[in-house]
Each structure stands twice: as C-alpha cells, then as structure tokens.
Structure 1
C-alpha cells in the first residue's frame, strides 16, 4: 500500500514537473520585447504581413512590400513564441498586428523609430483653396483636424465641400479645412480625405469619365477627305459642337463627301471631327467617327472614291 502511495506521488510530481515548466517555457519563449509602448513609432522590414489577430494563424490584413512607419497602439502580446504589437499606419494601410521577429531566434521585423508624426500620411490629393470636393461617403466634419476632435456635422454622400485650407497630417490622415452647406447655413470644419485605403472624396486628378477616348481613327487628319459611312442604314448626325449635346444641324446619309477642317476632340467617349461638306461648302459641323463595328467615317483612298 505504501508502495502504491509512493508511486502515485511520483506520478503527480512527474505531471507537475512536466506541465508547469512547459507553460513557463512557452511564456519565456517570447523573450524580452522591444522597449515600445502605445504611441511609439516603428519602422518595418519590407515583405512582412500585418495580421488581424496576434498570432501566425490570424488572417492577413495587409502585405507590406516596402518599409513603412507605424504607430504602436497596443501590445506586446505573447503568442507562438513571438511578441506581437498592434499597429496603425498610413490611412491607405489596414491596421493590425505585427510580429516583432520572424521566428523566436530569427531577425527583427520591426525597429523603434523616432519620427515626426506629421510625416506619416500618404501623399495627399491635389486640392487647392477654393476647390470643390465632391463627397463619396457620409463624412464627419470636425472642429479640429484629428480623430478625437469634436464632430460638428456629418456631411451626407453626394454633398460638395469647398476647400478652405490644408492638408494637415494628424493621426496618419490628411485633413482639409472645408465649408459645407446645411439647411441654409455654412458649417466650417475639418474632414479626412480617406482612411484604411478608402477615399471619402473624389480625386480631382481622375480623368473626366466623359472625356476618355481611344486613339483617333488612323489616317484621319486636318485636310484629309472622307465620306459618311452609314452601312447600318442609320443617318449620321452632324452637330454644331462636339458631343452628343451639340445642336443637331443635319442628318447625313451614306456616301456624302467632306473635308476634315478640325479635330479630333474627345467628348462623350467619342472622337469628333469638324468637317465641311464638299458639295455644300457652307455646311460645317462636327461628326463622330464612331467606333469598331460602327464607324461613321470612310477615308478616301485611290482605289475607292465616293459612289464607287
């Protein structure tokens, strides 16, 4: 009986000695973390992941192709024998957790950095004082630039703000001082142009969607002659100005010859040419060249003349 009791004690000791040191080793395996805290800034190595949880099994929130600077929000948390830091960076990068090292004995992936917070914003959009800023989302208008500033108003999607000044970089976001209308009054405050890769306002440098055209028809130029192509049996409209809103002057039938005297001009996603009707020189207007499968213009060639 005494022997059985001794064996039981030895088994319990073995379990305790086997379990407790293992847990202690798991915690100790993370090692001493870097001297960071909330508000510290770090630089990263290129080619690392930001995860949505502090563990290797966390989902990938972002892949960093280049070295970037981040602000520490929380941490460290020990998991997978690694110290993890919750970070927030430029507004076009998703926040999340970064491991301090690539492996417990591997190289560091992050380094403490002394930086000017005003340099942590992405390149701002190209707005000038007095510019009109169409809003793509409901946007908070704040008393001062910064996420903790008092919210004065929420400007609805579709409204247009007028830029007063900016940008100012605060909380890794570009802020613009703007004026927005609301129920007959003007509210002045600050809005962020975007966050987490989303842009809240329309980029002023985007091309006009109505002014995007392919290359003009080959062989057409001022001084060249052509004829109307109405192979689809639909007359082609000659307009007073380039664009579908131009006043209709005449409907041109197949084979009418003309000389090109201007253009091309891109309007409504079409290339337009100013032409002069050869048989009636007083008739001048703008004709769309059409597009593949429905060209409205035929070039003159030596082996093909109008009517032949």
Structure 2
C-alpha cells in the first residue's frame, strides 16, 4: 500500500488543508478587541508677534507674493516720505483687509524695511515710522496716484536762523501749527517729523518764543510755528 501512495503524493493529487509541518489545523483566531488609545491633543501654536505688528504674520505666510517690480524706486534700508495729500493708512499686513495700525499724515517719514510685495493689485512696503514705535505695511500708490517718494539725502539740515524764502524741515514729532504767533492762537494742525515748509516771514517774539510764519510743501497749509521750545530746535533750514 505504501508503494501505491508514493506516486500520488509526488504528483500532488492528494492535498491537505493545513501545512504538513502542523500536527493539527490551526485554531480560529480570537477577535480580541484593540485597546482604546488616549487621544493626543496637539496644542495650537500662539501667533507670533511678527516684528511688533500686533500678532500678524509676514506676507509670505499669508500667501502674498514678493516681487522685484515696483512703480516707486524705494530702497530697503532708506527713508521714504508720504506725499499723499490725505495721508496713507499703515496696516498690520500687506492687504486691504489687514487691520489699520495708524493713519500717517502727509510728509510723514518712514524707514523702508522690506518689500515690495504685491496683493490686491497694489505694491506694499513694510516700514517703520520715523520718530515713533509704529510699524506695518503701506501701499505705495493706487492706479495713477503715488503715495510715497524717496526721501532724498542730497540736502543737509543746518543750524542757523531761518529767513523768508528758506525751506525748513521739522525735526520733532507733532509740531503745532497755529493761526497766529502766540500759544493762544487756534491750532491748525500738528506737523509730523520730516515735514517740509517754506518760511513766509518772521521772526516774531511772543510768549517767550520766536515764531515764523510757514507754509507746508504738501497741502499748502499756512500758519505760525515756534522755531525752538525748551531749548529744543523744532525745525532746521534745508541747504
């Protein structure tokens, strides 16, 4: 009988339902429930301060495109001047939807720190306002209107008494421009650091100060301003 079975095994006509090395069929697997894992909570990172911009992210993080093209030849590391008659908005990001940080009046000086970026069809620059702690993004213009210009360094500020016809530049923040040469005269506006004016006449002495009548280059506002207060020069002659 053993001789008859051997050829059949060699040809594979007889098969088994389990491996030949097993003494018995394997037992059915037991459905053991998997242990329940404890959920892992991933903390949400707090927004970064992004350079003092009130928690806003940088333009690249917002998906805003950096570009090499621009209408105004501003230079990172150099100053620019606001020339828009009504001033320009300083925003927390390079977008029209970004929160407004401050309103920069005409003639404000800013230091360009990054850019340009393009968003909403507008070129944006990241700036720091000269003379205070504000920083953010400003649009350089819209369509044919230009809001910023390069603040030139070809002229120097000199310490001498102004004369009629001189161009002078404000060297403090918030210089008061009044309707008359005295501290009781109606306040017209306050002038930002870097505002340029043309001297009309003066000086006139009143209230312990020397006053000059001046006209601003941007906006053509005319009024009186003291040339020094508490031993601090308020504006200097541009030569």
TM-score, scaled to structure 1: 0.28
Task: Identify, as 1 or 2, the structure richer in helix.
Answer: 1
More relative contact order in 1 or in 2 (CA 8 Å, sep 6+)? 2
